[in-house]
Structure 1
């Protein structure tokens, strides 16, 4: 299926689908429903199916996985999870940030390292990730089961970009996330929020001139076909979170709670193996598929110009989140400092 066909295929939730989802009692259901934001074979899909594999191998429960577009956009699957229609959901902080402002911390540029070892260790050991975030998600009826990295963020554009001035007058697609908008404003661009289903067409028709995503998603979604200039700015990693409806989770037996935790741990271990080398593989596929693609890797000197603008985004984050955001940011930095000192 072509990339354009994928986007044309996207549709909202039909009344028939919704009726089917709500037909069974959530807490007592043997079939658990899990929705994510990506396509077949992408990182969230692999995670979901590893979770499903463990659950079904170690219990009588079944897990039904819904991929991007089958139940609507990211906002739709979150609403369904909070309503108890879905038991599990995988959603990136880019969208969750509208619900939980502190989750936008991942969009402060140049806060996170971009080397694999440091990133993986951070997600495993961070107090901010493993102790503070679960409390924030719980306030919104969500049981945070696992945050995990997917890949370094890469910008695509209609031209090569090497300095903030190159972003002038360019509309860059962002998720519906105020802090991500602040990042691209700081970089000199015009941030343009768009749901994922509209991105390919908007790039194709020049409604927008660029976007950012991990390289595997740029390859999977065919974005390089309509936005062929890839820029490695090294400003951050794409992060996602797997969570459950809190009432559903609390209603499980102790045995099933442990089952869910074990399945999540199993999927997390498998996904860390999966993403190792994934970016290089996806980039090679892009090179093989198109001779129009250009690859720009910013030098340390070029990165300095972008990094100098990061403090204004950090300031915006604190303004948006208040004392809770400041505490989270302080813990984030402490965790990162510890990880990087032990990794280097």
Structure 2
């Protein structure tokens, strides 16, 4: 009898412990707009698995890709309100909170891919740390990581070698002020289109061109509605990974450290993925019929660089000191 009672007591103790552990586990809802096959989708999936492993299951991450929880604006608002724990998108998507954060997506400001990743490190970049404090105080959102997706290039259904080829043509702009400014610098007419609507917009002629990393052009099969890609590399596409500050502070210090470690490892991995895939993607896009235009074929990068930077400086004068800080990052 005594052994039976003792056994039952032990079983109850184990059950209570398990229930306590379950209650203590934190689930983070992670949203993004990336499609299957894109680097950002791989990043989120692998980061979710690694976070669960690194925290011994104390933190789990449920990923909602492909705009399942809404477009960019809805996602950012959801993270601010806490209905979405975390997400990722271009830094400029957070300009709704702190306009100057868009500087990290500005065209022609990074020397190369590695420097772009270093300059957007929330743990070591002075410019980002300064802006992060503003994001936390003004919006309750904190940048905790980043993703390198590759250089962004122009695709179109005609040959593009200079801004003259885009003059007054409707060109897709990410629905953010920075992109509208950049497309003006291209000489085109900015036409904001959400990424989920982009293939249709290109098919119907609402826009005749767009710009994105090659991985996105491939993953979204834009080659079905676009015939040319110009390797302008005008932006090094780096996405901010951001979290609701209240949710972040609700995690233990150890788990925050574990998540930070995972996101840094995955950031470096994303750089490797993007760099390794660039040549393969060029070959793939040629294989499906796209014409790839480089400087060897007459692409005039300086003709793009000068008017785009002039437009950015005119529209975003506050960027100047941050651009200087970014340039100093090794």
Equivalent of 1:46, from 42, 46, 50?
42
Give 1:154's aligned residue: 153
Give 1:296's aligned residue: 293
Q: Using the alignment, how far apart are the partners of 1:98 and 1:87 within structure 2?
A: 18
Give 2:239's aligned residue: 240
- 2:35 aligns to what SS in structure 1? coil
Give 1:57's aligned residue: 53
Give 2:225's aligned residue: 226
Q: Using the alignment, how far apart are the partners of 2:314 and 2:208 within structure 1?
A: 25
Are positions 1:266 and 2:265 aligned together? yes
Q: Using the alignment, how far apart are the partners of 1:30 and 1:178 within structure 2?
A: 35
Deviation of the 1:96 alpha carbon: 2.6
Deviation of the 1:310 alpha carbon: 3.2
CA RMSD of aligned residues (A): 2.3
Q: Using the alignment, how far apart are the partners of 2:124 and 2:227 within structure 1?
A: 36
- 1:35-60 Cα deviation digits (max 9, x unpaired): 12212332122221222122221322
Q: Using the alignment, how far apart are the partners of 2:291 and 2:126 within structure 1?
A: 37
Give 1:330's aligned residue: 324
- 1:76 aligns to what SS in structure 2? helix
- 1:270-305 Cα deviation digits (max 9, x unpaired): 3233222122222222223x22x1111136982222
- 1:110-167 Cα deviation digits (max 9, x unpaired): 2223x44444444459634552332232131112101332110110112111122111
The structure number with the bigger radius of gyration is 2
Give 1:182's aligned residue: 181
Give 1:8's aligned residue: none
Contact map agreement 1:109 1:313 (CA 8 A) in 2 = no
Contact map agreement 1:128 1:328 (CA 8 A) in 2 = no
Give 1:168's aligned residue: 167
The within-5 A match list for 1:129-148 is 130-138=128-136, 139-148=138-147
Give 2:197's aligned residue: 198
Q: Using the alignment, how far apart are the partners of 2:53 and 2:299 within structure 1?
A: 51
Contact map agreement 2:184 2:311 (CA 8 A) in 1 = no
- 1:164-191 Cα deviation digits (max 9, x unpaired): 2111121110111222212221221101
- 1:186 aligns to what SS in structure 2? helix
Contact map agreement 1:82 1:141 (CA 8 A) in 2 = yes
Contact map agreement 2:313 2:320 (CA 8 A) in 1 = no
Contact map agreement 1:93 1:239 (CA 8 A) in 2 = yes
Contact map agreement 1:142 1:244 (CA 8 A) in 2 = yes
Equivalent of 1:104, from 102, 105, 119?
102
Q: Using the alignment, how far apart are the partners of 1:123 and 1:242 within structure 2?
A: 11
Deviation of the 1:77 alpha carbon: 1.6
Give 2:316's aligned residue: 318
Aligned residues: 303
Give 1:24's aligned residue: none
- 1:156 aligns to what SS in structure 2? strand
Change over 3 Å in CA distance of 1:310–1:40 after alignment to 2: closer
Moved more, 95-104 or 176-185: 95-104
Q: Using the alignment, how far apart are the partners of 1:213 and 1:40 within structure 2?
A: 15
Runs of 5+ consecutive residues of structure 2 not aligned to the other structure: 1-22
Q: Using the alignment, how far apart are the partners of 2:263 and 2:142 within structure 1?
A: 12
- 2:61 aligns to what SS in structure 1? strand
Contact map agreement 1:169 1:190 (CA 8 A) in 2 = yes
Contact map agreement 2:149 2:237 (CA 8 A) in 1 = yes
- 2:181 aligns to what SS in structure 1? helix
- 2:139 aligns to what SS in structure 1? coil
Q: Using the alignment, how far apart are the partners of 1:204 and 1:51 within structure 2?
A: 34
Deviation of the 1:217 alpha carbon: 0.1
